[in-house]
Amino acid sequence: MSFRRWLDERLQVQFRRLRDMLATVALSNDPDSPVWAWERNGVFSVKSTYSHLCNIEASDPNKWIWKSKIPLKIKTFVWLTQQGAILTRDNLMKRNWHGDGSCNFCQEQETAMHLFFTCPVAKYIWSLVAYVLEANCRPGSFDQFWLWTKAFLPKFQHFHMVGLAAICWPLWKSRNVVCFDKKKRVSLFGFGFYFLLGRLTEG
């Protein structure tokens, strides 16, 4: 396989990982057929669906929210965020709100994913955190965050939820200050960043 441009070392590593992943997939000329992944025999069952949903509910994001040492109101906020239920503008529009759906920090549509990960302000905050952790990338979604922290903070699993809250909560508060108080500048980003650093350096 050849490329039209030169790949630096980081991209070459990513390419090798992708190639290794694809090498594990076996292809054949047989016709495709549906297989239910949650049963060994590949056949759908209500029991396997119920068990899978229970496992999701008890998975890391939900389990660590309530065990983390953060205020209850922030636990509730993080849980609602994980459920996609916080009142970002896209959710308000689903409730027949007719206001402007754009982000307060840029002109993109405001969603939870955008506000906490893909907005330029959020990208800047995550880039600072990645720099401190000497990570070569930053998370772009909640699912990526859990993989990202396991890769770059494997020994601090009990602080992962604290770190997520320390970023998302100040971003949310700052968004509300700009939205409701019509302020152009906020100073809560630094609080979230230094709060995260302080937590990670304890113990």
pLDDT tens for the chain, 203 residues: list them. 778 888 888 888 888 888 887 877 777 888 888 888 888 888 989 988 877 766 654 455 566 787 788 888 998 898 888 888 888 998 888 888 888 888 888 888 999 999 999 998 899 889 888 888 888 888 988 888 888 888 888 887 778 888 899 899 988 988 888 888 765 544 445 444 444 444 444 44
Buried b (16+ CB within 10 A) or exposed e, 26-64: eeeeeeeeeeeeeeeeeeeeeeeeeeeeeeeeeeebeeb
DSSP three-state, residue 102: strand
In terms of C-beta density within 10 A (0-12 exposed, 13-18 middle, 19 or more buried), how is residue 170 classed?
buried
Query: Would you state the structure tokens that stand for residue 84, as one six-digit string?
Result: 């996609």
Whether residue 91 sits in one domain with residue 47:
no
Is residue 72 situated within a structural domain?
yes
Whether residue 76 sits in one domain with residue 49:
no
| Partners of residue 109 on adjacent β-strands | 102
Whether residue 82 sits in one domain with residue 45:
no
Is residue 48 situated within a structural domain?
yes
Whether residue 103 sits in one domain with residue 32:
no
* Residue ranges making up the domain that contains 155: 68-201
pTM over 0.85: no
Whether residue 41 sits in one domain with residue 91:
no
Whether residue 108 sits in one domain with residue 144:
yes
Whether residue 165 sits in one domain with residue 134:
yes
Whether residue 78 sits in one domain with residue 40:
no
Q: How many distinct structural domains can be found in the chain?
A: 2
Is residue 3 situated within a structural domain?
no
Whether residue 190 sits in one domain with residue 100:
yes
CB 103 within 8 A of CB 116: no
Whether residue 73 sits in one domain with residue 46:
no
Whether residue 86 sits in one domain with residue 39:
no
